[in-house]
Chains A and B, each alone.
Chain A
Amino acid sequence: SQTIHQWPATLVQPVGSPLSLECTVEGTSNPNLYWYRQAAGRGLQLLFYSVGIGQISSEVPQNLSASRPQDRQFILSSKKLLLSDSGFYLCAWARLVTEAFFGQGTRLTVV
């Protein structure tokens, strides 16, 4: 069965520190992978998506980057966190006409 793992669940990081959030998928191959952010009281905003290894599309210019070093691995990174990077980060995978699957999310607080 298809599963998606995202970690950590919560993270508190100082301003200026680096960030690495990892998402891995099991039970499928060549999935489309997505990173979203949800600020407090807001909807889920698409940050990056990937349709294949090494292929990254960025939706919103910002302090973050994404990489897909393996077929079922999607990483969200920052070299230096800002206070405004705080929020709930969600990883997902889907295909054109299949069900979507979601990680449990990471609540990031930048202090």
Chain B
Amino acid sequence: KNEVEQSPQNLTAQEGEFITINCSYSVGISALHWLQQHPGGGIVSLFMLSSGKKKHGRLTATINIQEKHSSLHITASHPRDSAVYICAVMVGGAQKLVFGQGTRLTINP
């Protein structure tokens, strides 16, 4: 079983819809990252969380340490939000950064 599981694997929605991507992990972590990967492969860091909630523009990320679960929310989605969204966790003891499989998001106009 992967240490980091994301759902859904693929998500298609209409412009304006509220989007939620989920991430569950099975190990002790020191931090959780939400990342965005565009078709060329480049990766952009969106959020780093160790507790609570962070918001940047239309994006919000939350983490529940007890439940080992995090969510990424996008409000008023737009076609330019189309990308692969990746959850990655820093495994505390080993200091290794492990990626989920990613969620491919497509927003149609």
Contacts and interface: CB of A to CB of B under 8 A. Distances in A.
B90 interface: yes
Interface residues of B, number: 24
B50 interface: yes
Interface string A51-62: 100000101000
B98 interface: yes
Majority secondary structure of chain B interface residues (helix, strand, loop or mixed): strand
Contact of A43 (B41, B95, B101): B101
A49 interface: yes
Given A32-B95, A43-B100, A49-B96, A96 B30 contact: yes
Contacts of B95: 32, 49, 51, 96
B86 A44 contact: yes
A1 interface: no
Interface stretch (A19-27, A69-77, A101-109): A101-109
A38 B30 CA distance: 24
B99 A97 contact: no
A98 B41 contact: no
Interface of B: 30-31, 33, 35, 41-45, 48, 50, 86, 88, 90, 92, 94-102
Given A43-B86, A90-B43, A102-B42, 5 more contacts: A45-B99, A49-B97, A96-B30, A97-B31, A99-B45
